[in-house]
Structure 1
Amino acid sequence: MADLVPGLLICLMAVQTIQHDGNRTRTQTNSSLLPRTYMGRTNKQNNTKLPASTNPRLSVNSEDTVTAYTKGVLSTWVIPSSYILAMLVGIPSNTYILAFLRYRAKSFSTAVLYLNLAMSDLLLLLTLALRVHYHFNGNNWTFGEISCRLITALFYGNVYCSAQTIACISLKRYLAVVRPFLYRRLAKTTLALWTCLVVWFLFGAAIVPELLVRQSYQVTQLGVITCHDVLPLEEKSHALLVPYRLMLVCLGLVVPFLICIYAHVAVVYHLGQSGCDWRPFIRVTTVVFIIFVLCFLPSGILQITHYIRLFSNGDDSLYGYYRVAVCLCCFHSCLDPFLCMLISRTAASEIQFTSLHGKPKRSAVMM
């Protein structure tokens, strides 16, 4: 499974590169394949003549470039097909976790965290249904502005929520293994409930700005209504979105990623120093960590780079590559239930390990 994820990313990037090369041979300009996906410009003269119920119109810099992305195989076939695969696997598995995990978990605090993760993953996967129709329909949104705002907010909010919940689970595992005496004194159930409340509070903070600004615009050159892909960031109403999203990526992806790295290294090191054979457990936790890195790291790097370039000089040519990387986040959401079951089979309610001083200790380690 760990080999499948990077292979999929390489295939998606190859499709993007082939599409880029094909477009470059058709045009004599130095413009990139991807449209100016964020940097649309409001056509104020035409918008004044439109009814209130009609989507405002935006113009973009290059009709050939926009056409190549909007009608190309990447956005109209590869991305929605990946979403469908993630939905077919992830929705049933996360529903199963929500229905049965609470009866099988040996610890209520563990059940709370995994149920929170399953709920976040399920909401993320359910938002993909309308996006699949949007991409298969030539990137033409037909469901109205309200639904576009809601789907966009839920999609990105749940990506961050999933990453933060995984970081909390990793931190819990770290305390159980590395700080067992502190872990035993904690009110684990209360702490788990408060952790979930904080995660969902951050989720709300992440989606509010997306709900307050218009997300759907009609691209005049193509005659389609885009949802979130083309935004007039030069307008006052959207000007603060870029720095806000950059801050959100750092708090929602970078910080959880650093927590997971530290927790995983510390757990593996301490278990390796013990006198017991924890190799099966170490292998399982390593697989979980590698899948987390492969699914979230490309998206985080590309998103940060994209927003920095967009904020500094208006260059949004990385947006298409970032959309490809986001597919991997969706695949992590459909893999989480299987990873949870895999960990539960390799960790009992209590494990015994040898401390660095060589004295056997017993500590509750609920995965």
Structure 2
Amino acid sequence: MYRPLLVLLYVFMLSDSLQSARNNILHPKTFNARRAGNTTTENDLILPELNVSSSHVRNYTAGILSTRIIPAAYLIAILIGIPSNCLVLACLINKIGSLSSAILYLSLAVSDLLLLVSLTLKVHYHLNGNNWMFGELACKLVTACFYGNIYCSIHAHMCISVLRYLAVVHPFLYRGLSKRSCTTWASLTMWVFFAAAMAPELLVHQSYYLADVGITTCHDVLPYDEEQYNFLIPYRLCLICLGFMFPFVVIAFAYGSIVYQLNRSCCDWTHYIKASTLVFVIFFLCFTPSNAIHLIHYVRLYTSQQDDFYIYFSVAVCLCCFHSCLDPFLSYFITKTTNSQVEFISLSSFSPIT
């Protein structure tokens, strides 16, 4: 197992050395900037320079939005999300053997926790005036972890919604499934897929020194004026489609079918209908704005090379981080047992899912 990891690490290190040796690098599209044609030295590292051509980029990097409001939102999510997700992990570890859906909830909690941990460095970055102090490799890892775990959380919700859909709408098919095997393979496939999908983030240069402003940004400002690098925009658009749009359609269909089926039942499923509706509504409110703006951002870049929507995306993506700290409360409810003891139980306790 360790040999493929060593090979992958070697590839990343070789990529970094090649990038520092030349400037012809593939770049993702965020804010627009042009190469300054020279480099600067910071902390004994040689960083390529960029010239900022638009005033809204300067306003964003120095404004109160990115230096105070966004890090404050991240900090709230961290303070709530990390302890609650750690508590969920502690509860789920003991239930893996008895609850097949616990594997999916475990994947969701781990993904949310990794996302929130990556925010700690982003908080320092924004509070420091959008000046990155931790080097290129850390910038790559934080960027890949941030975006990768957002999409990983979305897919974990999709898998959970499909499991609930089968349990409610197709109970006989659900009973015949090897649920533990299905949830295990779904979780492994999800992690492998997004590890591969985030590989481009580790193979491109993410941190640049802005000569006009005097700061080193991480992922926020990258050069994209070279026409030969426009093929990276389809990569981003495909990631949005596969990472959000497809899971959103599946989740909407699953919860819509669940509510429709339970409304037809002669039993009183009002509590579960309200819980399912609440989970879907919060999912919609947290993930849709950022992904919709992200999609518009890259379409505008591709058609007119306009990058001003990235500011709105930076604000909307805070909602995704709040969803990571809400997941433990959405997935688990505090209920009283017959002897009035309070314990965490899964939403699946209100349905046929076991």
Corresponding position: 1:228 with 2:219? yes
- What's the counterpart of residue 136 of structure 1? 127
Cα deviation code 1:306-341 (max 9, x no counterpart)? 111111211111001001110000000000011111
SS of match in other structure, 2:32: coil
Change in CA separation of 1:275 and 1:95 when aligned onto 2, cut-off 3 Å: same
Give matches, 1:60-75, under 5 Å: 60-62=52-54, 64-75=55-66
Give matches, 1:308-319, under 5 Å: 308-319=299-310
SS of match in other structure, 1:61: coil
User: Taking structure 1 as the reference length, what is the TM-score of the superposition?
Assistant: 0.82
SS of match in other structure, 2:45: coil
SS of match in other structure, 1:57: strand
Distance 1:226 1:347 in 2: 42
Corresponding position: 1:40 with 2:33? yes
Change in CA separation of 1:54 and 1:238 when aligned onto 2, cut-off 3 Å: farther
Task: Find the partner of 2:149 among 144, 149, 158.
Answer: 158
Does the 8 Å contact 2:125/2:132 carry over to 1? yes
Cα deviation code 1:77-106 (max 9, x no counterpart)? 010000000000000011111111232478
Corresponding position: 1:293 with 2:259? no
- What's the counterpart of residue 49 of structure 2? 57
- What's the counterpart of residue 22 of structure 2? none
Change in CA separation of 1:289 and 1:280 when aligned onto 2, cut-off 3 Å: same
Give matches, 1:326-337, under 5 Å: 326-337=317-328
User: Taking structure 2 as the reference length, what is the TM-score of the superposition?
Assistant: 0.85
Does the 8 Å contact 1:77/1:135 carry over to 2? yes
How large is the Cα RMSD of the aligned pairs? 2.1
Once the two structures are TM-superposed, the CA of residue 39 in structure 1 deviates from its matched residue by 1.6
Task: Find the partner of 2:167 among 144, 159, 176.
Answer: 176
- What are the ranges of 5 or more consecutive residues in structure 2 without an aligned counterpart? 1-28, 335-343
2:36 partner amino acid: N
Cα deviation code 1:130-151 (max 9, x no counterpart)? 1001100110101111100110
- What's the counterpart of residue 241 of structure 2? 250
Deviates more, 1:95-104 or 1:284-293: 95-104
Once the two structures are TM-superposed, the CA of residue 68 in structure 1 deviates from its matched residue by 1.3
Cα deviation code 1:209-267 (max 9, x no counterpart)? 00000000011110100100111123478543322111101100111111110000000
Corresponding position: 1:111 with 2:102? yes
Change in CA separation of 1:250 and 1:207 when aligned onto 2, cut-off 3 Å: same
Change in CA separation of 1:141 and 1:178 when aligned onto 2, cut-off 3 Å: same
SS of match in other structure, 1:85: helix
The percent identity for this pair of structures is 51
Does the 8 Å contact 2:96/2:102 carry over to 1? yes
Deviates more, 1:49-58 or 1:223-232: 49-58
The number of residue pairs the alignment matches comes to 316
Distance 2:228 2:146 in 1: 21
